[in-house]
Amino acid sequence: MARGRFAASVPVHVTLKVIGGLPSFRREAVARVVRAAIAAGGHRGDFRVVHFSVLGDHLHFVVEAAGAVALARGMQGLTIRLARRLNVLLGRRGKLFAQRYHARPLRTPTEVRNAIRYVLLNARHHGAARGAVLSRGWLDPYSSALWFDGWKAAVRADTPWLRALAKAGCPTAAPRTWLLKEGWRRGGGLIGVDEVPGPAQPSA
């Protein structure tokens, strides 16, 4: 975990890894638990989850926090909620996450844009690495991509799962920092939904 100080105006990219030996987290039941945990505790005044994605063995978040202490407390609460609910889902007990989270402050528009792009399109990165072919305009159902308003083109919500997610409502918090609200656009403009983030992105 990054322990350095950072200002409340600086978003943070957080990666939370799962212990080995568990089934892939890339499924709707897990994503539903993650969305519920974020909705329950990711909207505090001093800690907000703005973006997320669920991968096979780790979770990505882009958060806002009023400093390192608020980040630690917010992530502690989120991690506890996730562990309790996911252990019930998986029918198990005990440790769920492999280590304390890794946190990387994002201090420039380019860093923030790269992190948003990486988190929301991370499934494309991993799919490309495996040689998978994803359809154009595909949105990751195990992320907050549906609710992101910075895509280059309007996203289509005409599939059953998209309509169901839209009806359920956005689980994440609206950004308050300049960097996450609008500043990131100065780091390269709007993001194409079909872009594939490169392997050199932070916290892969």
Q: Give the DSSP per-residue string, 134-173.
A: PPTT---TTBSGGG-S-BSSPPP--SHHHHHHHHH---SP
Query: Residue 114, CB half-sphere, CA atoms under 13 Å: how many?
Result: 16
Quickly state the pLDDT bin for 154 (edges 50, 70, 90): confident
Q: Round to whole Å and give the CA distance between 176 and 122.
A: 24
Q: What percent of the chain has pLDDT over 70?
A: 88
The b-or-e profile of 124-150 (16+ CB within 10 A means b, else e) is bbbbbeeeeeeeeebbbbbbbbbbbee
Quickly state the pLDDT bin for 114 (edges 50, 70, 90): very high
Domain contains 65: yes
Q: Is the pLDDT of residue 10 over 90?
A: yes
The model's pTM is: 0.89
Question: What mean pLDDT comes out for the span 79-99?
Answer: 94
Q: Round to whole Å and give the CA distance between 148 and 144.
A: 7
Domain contains 1: no
Domain that holds residue 146: 12-187
Pick from 3-7, 47-51, 141-145, 149-153: least confident: 3-7
Question: What mean pLDDT comes out for the span 66-94?
Answer: 95
Question: What mean pLDDT comes out for the span 16-39?
Answer: 95
- Quick one: pLDDT at residue 128? 43
Domain contains 198: no
Question: What mean pLDDT comes out for the span 146-164?
Answer: 84
Q: What percent of the chain has pLDDT over 90?
A: 70
Question: Which residues pair with residue 143 across a beta bridge?
Answer: 53
Handedness of CA 75, 77, 80, 83 (dihedral sign): negative
Q: Is the pLDDT of residue 1 over 90?
A: no
CATH of the domain at 123: 3.30.70.1290
- Quick one: pLDDT at residue 73? 95
Averaged pLDDT score across all residues of the chain: 88
Q: If you ran DSSP here, which 8-state letter would residue 174 be given?
A: P
**Overall domain count for the chain:** 1
Domain contains 3: no
Q: Is the pLDDT of residue 187 over 80?
A: yes
What residues contact residue 107 under an 8 Å CB cut-off, 6+ apart?
6, 10
Question: What mean pLDDT comes out for the span 78-99?
Answer: 94
In this structure, the dihedral spanned by the alpha carbons of residues 59, 65, 67 and 72, taken in order and rounded to 10 degrees, is -40
Question: What mean pLDDT comes out for the span 82-105?
Answer: 93
- Quick one: pLDDT at residue 4? 64
- Quick one: pLDDT at residue 134? 57
Domain contains 196: no
- What letter represents residue 186's amino acid? R
Q: Which position has the higher pLDDT, 104 or 199?
A: 104
Question: What mean pLDDT comes out for the span 61-87?
Answer: 96
